Structure 1
Amino acid sequence: MAVVSLDDIKKARKKLKDVALKTKLDHSRTFSKMSGNQIYLKLENLQRTGSFKIRGAYNKISNLTEAEKKNGVVAASAGNHAQGVALAASKMGIKSTIVMPIGAPIAKINATQGYGADVILSGESYDEAHAEEERFAKETGATIIPAFNDPDVIAGQGTIGLEILEEVPDIDVVITPIGGGGLLSGVAVALKESNPDIEVIGVESANAACMAESMKQGCLAHLNGVDTIADGIAVKTPGDLTYKIISEYVDHVVTVEEEEIAHAILLLMERAKLIVEGAGATTLAAVLNNKINIQGKKVAIVLSGGNIDLDMVATIIERGLIKAGRKITFETYLSDKPGSLRDLLSTITETKANVVSINHDRLAPDTPLKSAKVQLTLETKNEEHIQKIQQVLKENNYQIKNLH
């Protein structure tokens, strides 16, 4: 008997009718042109709680007995499942406790508490938080709501697949992120049981590739550590149920690098005006970096969540501008006399660069006497513009050192 059936997913869809949003499947001209495919973005980053997790959490909790509901629920999560469980439990008047890794983004912690849950911070990863979840459940009698390795959770996540088919019945390829595998499992069953010809692909961070490693070894694999900006999929060991489903239904599992994920986040902000977290951006990263051999296909990529820490957004934007040649920071030494700084700025003005910040320091220990160290950050057009600025400064006898 199948772990999860298409009928289970259809039943979950009915339960979620007035709870989870039917998120838009948005055709992207920009990413279609960039990839040579027809790209559709499944906007689960605009879902309630900011991710797809409300689907599986609500379906699971709605199927609990009255006795189980009375004792409350507990879940371990890096953040998105936490919010899904917290909201689902609150809607049913059930007490919820969430165990989150110590390094979970502050935005996700605050949001989880805002949905009515008690939060316990424990461990450095999801797996360590999971151990505390089990201890808490044993002590209090609360029911564990698994993040991914559960038939009801998998069925809830699978409703995304049904929605994709409703909007684009002739979809060729569907791509989802993989953490523990609940999302990919549910979507794969919904799609393959409806149309076996649809290609289903999962994407992991190369720094947290537990499912890819499991598929390679032919059995559940455990990673010693994970370190990725895609915190929503930072899982050391996939579920045995999800591994079984993925092994049967999924065509390919691929991985993407951290810089590729960061660039996809930046592109989604700049070109699609969408805020997407690292886990959700892995799917676009895989397509744009040719990790999947597809061309001329109708492709749905699931942007699984949008709960990204604002400090991370700021870092990604800054790094992206530098890599694109749109910002540069350098230092040089000037003679410590009136007019030296004015002359430097006048030279920079000729290059049509915009000064973002400037620091003039004559007291730094490494600064020669009668000199001043000047550090400038400039807003530039591209790499060619930066090279022109460097050439002009050199022609005017400025010795510069690029900092980034």
Structure 2
Amino acid sequence: MTETLTKPLTLTLADVQAAAGRIAGAVVRTPTMRSETLSRITGAEVYLKFENHQFTAAYKERGALNALLHLTPEQRAKGVIAASAGNHSQGLSYHGTRLGVPVTIVMPKTTPTVKIMQTEAVGGKVILEGESFDEAYAYARSMEAQLGLTLVPPFDDPLVAAGQGTVALEMLEDEPDLDILMVPVGGGGLISGVAVAAKGLKPAIKIIGVQTAEFPAFYTLMTGKKVDSRQVTLAEGIAVKEPGMFTRGVVLDVVDEIRIVSENFIEEAISLLLDIEKTVVEGAGAVGLAALLPTNDGTRKRTEFKGKKVGIILTGGNIDQRFLANVILRNLVRSGRIGRVSVLLDDRAGALSRIAQIFTDHNANIIEVTHQRIFGNLSAKSTQTDIEFEVRDRAARDRLFEALERAGYKFDVITLQGNKGQRFTRSNGD
């Protein structure tokens, strides 16, 4: 049944509770579960909210459905339009199709193919326009006026934010003693609804928003600090240049803090969730965990969260398979399990066999070997050989390096940035 209400100018706990009743049974009531291993790694008591278990693999269904259920019969007949980097489009398309409402989605041209295909698969008509969400949004507004469609914003809307806030109601029902909620932030719809709902039920709870450092709009708004960024991110679901006008007011009023995380930590969080929890999470959905992670070398520790019950919302799982594969491999490099060295060898029979034996002796699996004989500062009798390998862990990798050094090989370690980090310089006799 559809109900037509006047859109509120504010957002209250009652609005979120009403949305929960409205959408009940039409969205998945996802679990909130404690992660023993992530708790050990971070020092906090980590509770994960698996919104990637929704039918469209993202929490966005909640707000989209709440907004759709407020349409008049005339609005339903004409249809709705939205601009989205992906997850809002899928939620709106799925529930719009289910309710018989035509849905048009404008996506940035940079949107991953998987999100375009999934949106079309659930009934949405996709138009690609612009290089960013903001450009796609401007085009959607122009189509709204031309065609008489109803705009359903992905975040800057009280009805949408109320729907998203139902996530917090479920988390606190499952785990009432949560001390902190870590919430991914793009345009602010999720954190607005979550903060209002959580603070309404438990005023002492702390709400921390997390953004990628590549799109730090709310962080800059709240702290006044400027962040240098390339504005290229794996977390495209929160790649929003400007906070929403409605949501910024809510965030400034009720959110305790906004933090930023680097792409490296987002990648690590995705890999950990896949490895430990056996769950696929996209970049935007992993930023909450990324904000808790210590560095591998121990230079960044999060002692402030020690012993605290921290709820983390895994907002979505729609990640391009190729990007996911790259993330996994890159994190194996960071952990020391995959390495690459550039070694100077004599260009003669048996040279490669002799160095390969050292790798074999240290249980290092050679993945790839490439040779360079022409370019660079090489003797005509030498060859530069790049060897990519896999070992058990960082300690095993270091023992391999030490063995190569003892054998007299000169080599460079290739880093993720493509640089050659000089590790050993002893000549091999050339």
TM-score, normalized by length of structure 1? 0.93
Q: CA deviation at 1:255?
A: 1.5
Cα 1:16–1:268 change in 2 (3 A) is same
Assess if the C-alpha contact under 8 Å between 1:356 and 1:377 holds in 2: yes
Q: Give the Cα–Cα distance (whole angstroms) in 1 for the partners of residues 25 and 134 of structure 2.
A: 32
Stretch deviating more after TM superposition (368-377 or 349-358): 368-377
Contact residue 27 and residue 40 of structure 1 kept, 8 A: yes
Q: Does 1:242 align with 2:247?
A: yes
AA at the equivalent of 2:273: L
Shift of 1:43: 0.6
Q: Decide whether aligned partners of structure 1 residues 292 and 258 sit closer, same or farther in structure 2, where only a CA change above 3 A counts.
A: farther
Cα displacement (A) at 1:343 = 2.0
Cα offsets for 1:339-372 (capped at 9, x unmatched): 3322222232122211112234656676643444
Match in the other structure for 1:395: 406
Out of 23, 27, 50, the residue aligned to residue 57 of structure 2 is 50
1:262-320 Cα shifts (integer Å, max 9, x gaps): 11111111122121111111111112245793332222111111111122212211221
Number of the residue aligned with 1:25: 32
Q: Which residue of 1 aligns with 2:92?
A: 85
Give the direction of change, closer, same or farther, for the CA distance of 1:2–1:139 in structure 2 (3 Å limit). Answer: closer
Change (3 A) 1:340 1:84: same
Matched, 1:330 2:341: yes
Deviation for aligned residue 1:217: 4.8
Structure 2 residue aligned with 1:182: 189
Which residue number in structure 2 is paired with residue 380 of structure 1?
Answer: 391
- Give the letter for the 2:260 counterpart: T
8 Å contact 1:286–1:292 — kept in the other structure?
no
Matches within 5 A, 1:135-214: 135-214=142-221
**Structure-1 residue corresponding to 2:420:** none
In structure 2, what is the equivalent of residue 355 of structure 1? 366
Distance 1:244 1:223 in 2: 25
> Cα distance, 1:252 vs. partner?
1.5
- Measure the CA separation in 2 of the matches of 1:295 and 1:377: 38
Which residue does the alignment assign to 1:228? 233
Specify the code of the residue in structure 2 equivalent to 1:391: E
Q: Which amino acid aligns with 1:313?
A: L
Residues 139 and 2 (structure 1 numbering): CA distance in 2 closer, same or farther, change over 3 Å? closer
Which residue identity is paired with 1:349? Answer: T
Shift of 1:119: 0.8
Q: Does 1:263 align with 2:274?
A: no
In structure 2, the CA distance between the partners of 1:353 and 1:115, relative to structure 1 (3 Å rule), is same
Q: Give the count of matched residue pairs.
A: 402
Q: Secondary structure at the match of 1:253?
A: strand
Aligned residue among 74, 87, 93 for 1:67: 74
**Per-residue CA distance 1:6-62 (angstroms, 9 max, x = gap):** 222122112211211010101111122223322110011111211100000011011
1:254 aligned residue: 259
Q: CA RMSD in A?
A: 2.3
Which of 380, 389, 413 is 1:369 aligned to? 380
SS at match of 2:292: helix
Cα-to-partner distance string for 1:225-267 (whole Å, 9 max, x where unaligned) = 7332211111111112111111222122222122121111111
Deviates more, 1:314-323 or 1:93-102: 314-323
C-alpha separation between the residues in 1 aligned to 2:369 and 2:163? 53
Structure 1, unmatched stretches of 5+, are none
Distance 2:160 2:265 in 1: 29
> Match for 2:317 among 279, 302, 306?
306
2:286 is aligned with what amino acid? A
The amino acid across from 2:10 in the alignment is V
Q: Which is further off, 150-159 or 370-379?
A: 370-379
Read off the aligned partner of 1:241 and give its amino acid letter: F
Go from structure 1 to structure 2 and tell me whether the alpha carbon gap of 1:45 and 1:380 turns closer, same or farther (over 3 Å shift).
Answer: same
Paired amino acid for 1:242: T
Q: Residue 49 of structure 1 aligns to a residue in which SS?
A: coil
String of CA shifts for 1:89-134, please: whole Å, max 9, x gaps. 1111111111111111111111111111111111111111100101
More moved, 26-35 vs 341-350: 341-350
The answer to whether the aligner puts 1:120 opposite 2:131 as a matched pair is no
Aligned-residue identity in percent: 38
Aligned AA for 1:347?
Answer: I
1:396 corresponds to which letter in structure 2? A
- Structure 1 residues 317 and 12, CA, compared in 2 at 3 Å: closer, same or farther? same
Alpha-carbon distance between aligned partners in 2 of 1:393 and 1:225, rounded to the nearest angstrom: 38
Q: Secondary structure of the equivalent of 1:331?
A: strand
SS in structure 1 of the partner of residue 356 of structure 2: helix
